[in-house]
A and B are shown apart, each in its own frame.
Chain A
Amino acid sequence: MGGINQNSDREWIKHRYIGAGLCLVFIFCVLFLRLVYLQIIRGDEYRRLSMTNCVRLKSIKSSRGLIYDRNHNLLVDNRPAFDLTIVLEDAKPLKETLERLAELTGDSCEELTATIKKAGRAAFYKPLVLKRDITRDLLAVIEAHQFDLPGIHIDIEPTRNYIHKKTAAHLIGYLGEINKQELASGKFPNVRSGDPIGRYGVEKSFEQDLQGKRGGHQVEVDVNGRVIKILKTVEPVSGRDLVLTMDLSLQQKAENLLGENDGAVVALDPSNGDVLVMASSPSFDQNDFIGGISSKKWQALRDDPGRPMNNKAIQAEYPPASTYKTITALAGLEEKVIDRNSTFFCPGFYKFGNRRYHCWNKYGHGNLNVVDAIAQSCDVFFYQTGEKLGVDALARYAHGSGLGRLTGIRLAHERPGLIPTSVWKKKRFKEPWQAGETLSISIGQGFNLVTPLQMAVFISAIGNSGTLYRPRLVKSVQDAKGQMIREIEPEITGGLPASKKNLAIVRQGLLEVVHGNRGTARHIRLPGIQIAGKTGTAQVFSRKAGEKFNNEKLKRTLQDHAWFVCYAPAQDPKIAIAVIIEHGEHGSSAAAPVAKGLIHAYLGDPEVPTAVVKDDQAHVE
């Protein structure tokens, strides 16, 4: 770090400092000239603007993207809503203005003042929403009294409109006002305080597409807050439209078939995982959430024992019951503990250790092979298959078939279900696995828990010979002009851990469930369409293995859940369905007819009446 002694150095450095000094002079001249321009040349104009304090902001809300079903039927659009707003700076004298307004709206003056107070230190010049979505009558009254309501404005804002009310409410979702944490998170750069964002369903999952971008005006206003001149405008950008995979008419059909029952229906296209139907009952009206749901309505929804706010298709976990025998059969065949021709004898019970595990048919099924066992849902056959497999082998196949893990559907709150293993039990209960428990597991009772969506994905995979798809909700995203922004491709998440040969055996069994002489769902046959499926009856409370209860005598809330999973046409499936009816008792009588109705509606046969024929014989399983 030497000094600067040489003259040449000194000369050189001097030049650099002179250069820097000249830059400094130049830049300060520019700044000064700018001041002269603003304060002297345009000073009068700005003085005038400042005297009236009259530049206001008017935000223009973008309209949220529309939502269509797979056939381009409109499901969700926007309607104009009239919001009553106030600009405090213009609303003078404030007290009198609020009193007059309170008279007209029927609110108390205190309520209005409270709304203003709640807005906190919002600037004087920003419009503040007093009442959202006022009625046309009130709108007319306000318009008529506009002259003595200075600073009070009506803002027209696009607002969500759910055309088919409760239909597919869980799938489509609803909106809610953004909260402070979400605003602070920086994840919603285009959203302002007070704006709605997707809270549930597709509205939430596809928020970034649906949202659009706010625009705005800077306007000059007069003393009464009336717009004189627009100084600057930025046009809003509409949100993108969604085309769902859901089929509106089929969805409505499913919801009608579910009727008053609590439960869920999921229908998928086995060739690509498209969600054709996702119904959960009871449902709710999404329109109630617009502009904030009233606490009374919210309480009623929350306290409803039918849990209307739960999407039972993905959030409710049920024991899979006999539908699980499909897994046990596949595992048994793959692990070679049984083959196509192995037979077991069913005397109506299976003796294990010193206990008897009953079959649902106390008279016994006699000798049967795997195809008959599936068709007649023989418990004894699967007790023995499961015993030979062991819990962990069984769990491996269940897991490989998509059970006990998320399907990856793009909806929040999906539950994974539960497939027990010996390790899991050790961790959870600090107890070793009991061989007897494997017996319960192998017929789908015990610790097993699945969601209807998982079962739909699984049965789809059986139907399409082994491919597991991620359920697809949205086919494509389009801009407001209908131009494709992006298509969402089907996504394969895995394959069933089974050979084609063994799958064919299981498929034969499933076909006989409906079309065999002794099949448990033979009453839902449709002429011309082969259906392959599996019934199930899930115990709501645990009872001694195999113990029989007279369900009719039990309270409704303790009665069994009814399952039915199926695909059709059996040879080349176009639709796969999972139905659960809570406390529906028997899969065959309660759940299967729902599937039948859907298959008929989807694959169609106008000559056959759609009415569900009740078959007394069906009460056996």
Chain B
Amino acid sequence: MFDRRLVSNFDWGFLLLIFFICILGLIILYSAVTAGYNGTMLHPLFKKQVVWLSVGFAIMMGCFVVDFKELAKLHFLIYAVCVGLLIATWFVGHTGGGSQRWLVLGPVRIQTSELMKISLIISLASVYADSIDPEGLGFRHLIKPAILCIIPFGLIVIQPDLGTGLLLLLIAGCLTLFAKVEKKVVFILGGAGLCLVPLVWFFGLKDYQKDRILTFLNPERDPLGAGYHIIQSKIAIGSGMLTGKGFLHGTQNALNFLPEQHTDFILSVLAEEWGLVGCAVLLTLYFLLLFWGLNIAYNCRNMFGSLLAMGVTIMIFWQIFINVGMVMGLMPVVGVPLPLVSYGGSSVVTNMVGFGILLNISMRKFNTA
């Protein structure tokens, strides 16, 4: 039953890489939450994050016990459960900041839309693995994936959490393009999308909704809100210069100038205290992580596994790119956490599940059946 190759094939390098990023993340988080904190003990958020990471590691380990190919068989069940959770969130969810995003189970708050990302990737990988074609997928192949995307997208957007909804579509879209779509289909869908934008803009949206979108695209429109965050973030990053101001010596961070410095803007803390050198280290680690993911996908001899690994890699990639781009002022301000570095339980768990799947695929790459 037990194949010894599973152990000999275990991807220790990848695990080590994840471990390094977690350690680096904890160091940055320590600095971010300790600034201006007067307590003698460790900051409670720091302690919580250590717990989350431990839980995440445990879940990750759990993820590669079962052969990933079982996921393909169970994909619809997983999908249905996650959609059910999203619906449950709508009815009994915890309201935070005007939207219902969390499902409260005892002491744990689950952001159900995070779980949906993984579930959708599994489902799409499974569907595409059956229909993939070097010539590309035609319209009729895309009906089922489209339905699979639209349902959770709608449920997330009404929470309302447009950012996560769009991220979900982005991930699904990239995976679909990767699985290859007929040129004709790309042109038609792209063209239709372009035509739809002005229609929705002029007839579908109210003034205040347009306003919100414009601010979303260009935070400088809102110099008191998002724009202020960006300018302070840029000052923090820029002032780090080559080697930074030193651990716990970031002034922007210490004086509470940075908004949400322990979640979405945590990269500016690193940039301020460790400078270009520190950022280069983190970016290199992330690059290696993504490249490794790509490699796992490439080496997997099973189409489902290959697509699944690719999907997870795409998910991690977008989170890193959007967060880093936003903090550096290259992208609109959207609340996307930096994987394994930003404080937050749902994000840690989701990413750990993703890594668990990658490890799972990696250790079974010999297995084509």
Q: Which residues of B contact A3 (CB under 8 A)?
A: 301-303, 368-369
Does chain A have a CB within 8 A of B154?
no
Nearest residue (CB) in A for B208 is A189
> Could you say which of B227, B232, B235, B321 has the most chain A C-beta atoms within 10 Å of its C-beta?
B235
Instruction: Determine which of A14, A39, A55 lies in contact with B242 in the assembled complex, contact meaning CB atoms within 8 Å.
Output: A39
Would you call B306 and A4 a contact (CB within 8 A)? Answer: yes
Task: Please encode chain A, from 32 to 52, with 1 for each CB lying within 8 Å of some chain B CB and 0 for all others.
Answer: 101110111011111101110
List 9 additional A-B contacts (Cβ < 8 Å) besides A20-B294, A189-B211. A1-B126, A16-B180, A17-B298, A46-B238, A50-B238, A50-B239, A53-B255, A125-B257, A232-B223
Would you call A1 and B302 a contact (CB within 8 A)? Answer: yes
Instruction: Determine which of B129, B294, B306 lies in contact with A21 in the assembled complex, contact meaning CB atoms within 8 Å.
Output: B294
A1-34 contacts to B (CB < 8 Å): 1-5, 8-9, 12-14, 16-17, 20-21, 24, 27-28, 30-32, 34
Would you call B321 and A38 a contact (CB within 8 A)? Answer: no
Known: A46-B235, A50-B236. A36 touches B251 (CB 8 A): no
Does chain A have a CB within 8 A of B72?
yes
Q: Which residues of A contact B224 (CB under 8 A)?
A: 57, 59, 214, 216, 234
Does chain A have a CB within 8 A of B356?
no
B207-249 contacts to A (CB < 8 Å): 208, 211-212, 220-224, 227-228, 231-232, 234-242
User: In the complex, how many angstroms separate the beta carbon of B316 from the nearest chain A beta carbon?
Assistant: 11
Known: A4-B306, A216-B223. A47 touches B257 (CB 8 A): no
Does chain A have a CB within 8 A of B312?
no
Known: A3-B369, A39-B237, A50-B236. A31 touches B325 (CB 8 A): yes
Would you call A24 and B291 a contact (CB within 8 A)? Answer: yes
Nearest residue (CB) in B for A9 is B134
Would you call B255 and A89 a contact (CB within 8 A)? Answer: yes
Does chain B have a CB within 8 A of A179?
no
Q: Which residues of A contact B298 (CB under 8 A)?
A: 13-14, 17
Would you call B241 and A39 a contact (CB within 8 A)? Answer: yes
User: In the complex, how many angstroms separate the beta carbon of A408 from the nearest chain B beta carbon?
Assistant: 23
* Complex CA–CA separation, A4 to B299 (angstroms): 11
Task: Please encode chain B, from 94 to 130, with 1 for each CB lying within 8 Å of some chain A CB and 0 for all others.
Answer: 0001100000000000000000000000000010011
Does chain A have a CB within 8 A of B346?
no
User: In the complex, how many angstroms separate the beta carbon of A89 from the nearest chain B beta carbon?
Assistant: 7
Would you call B231 and A217 a contact (CB within 8 A)? Answer: no
User: In the complex, how many angstroms separate the beta carbon of A194 from the nearest chain B beta carbon?
Assistant: 13
Would you call B239 and A234 a contact (CB within 8 A)? Answer: no
Q: Chain B: how many interface residues by the 8 Å CB criterion? A: 64
Does chain B have a CB within 8 A of A233?
yes
Q: Which residues of B contact A14 (CB under 8 A)?
A: 298
Would you call B276 and A40 a contact (CB within 8 A)? Answer: yes
Would you call B294 and A24 a contact (CB within 8 A)? Answer: yes
For the A-B complex, the count of residue pairs with Cβ-Cβ distances under 8 Å equals: 152
Q: Which residues of A contact B98 (CB under 8 A)?
A: 184-186
Q: Which residues of B contact A423 (CB under 8 A)?
A: none
Known: A17-B297, A34-B328, A35-B271. A40 touches B242 (CB 8 A): yes
Does chain B have a CB within 8 A of A124?
yes
B321-343 contacts to A (CB < 8 Å): 321, 324-325, 328, 330
Q: Which residues of B contact A223 (CB under 8 A)?
A: none
Interface of B is mostly: helix
Nearest residue (CB) in A for B276 is A39
Q: Chain A: how many interface residues by the 8 Å CB criterion? A: 55
* Complex CA–CA separation, A123 to B126 (angstroms): 49
Nearest residue (CB) in B for A28 is B287
* Complex CA–CA separation, A55 to B229 (angstroms): 11
Does chain A have a CB within 8 A of B304?
yes
* Complex CA–CA separation, A510 to B337 (angstroms): 75
* Complex CA–CA separation, A28 to B321 (angstroms): 9
* CB-based closest 3 A-B pairs: A46-B238, A50-B239, A3-B368
Known: A21-B294, A39-B237. A234 touches B222 (CB 8 A): yes
Q: Which residues of A contact B205 (CB under 8 A)?
A: none
Would you call A35 and B280 a contact (CB within 8 A)? Answer: yes
Q: Which residues of B contact A35 (CB under 8 A)?
A: 237, 271, 276, 279-280, 283, 328
User: In the complex, how many angstroms separate the beta carbon of B243 from the nearest chain A beta carbon?
Assistant: 10
A236-285 contacts to B (CB < 8 Å): none
Known: A1-B130, A218-B231. A38 touches B303 (CB 8 A): no
> Could you say which of B212, B239, B287, B317 has the most chain A C-beta atoms within 10 Å of its C-beta?
B239
Known: A31-B283, A40-B242, A216-B224. A231 touches B231 (CB 8 A): yes
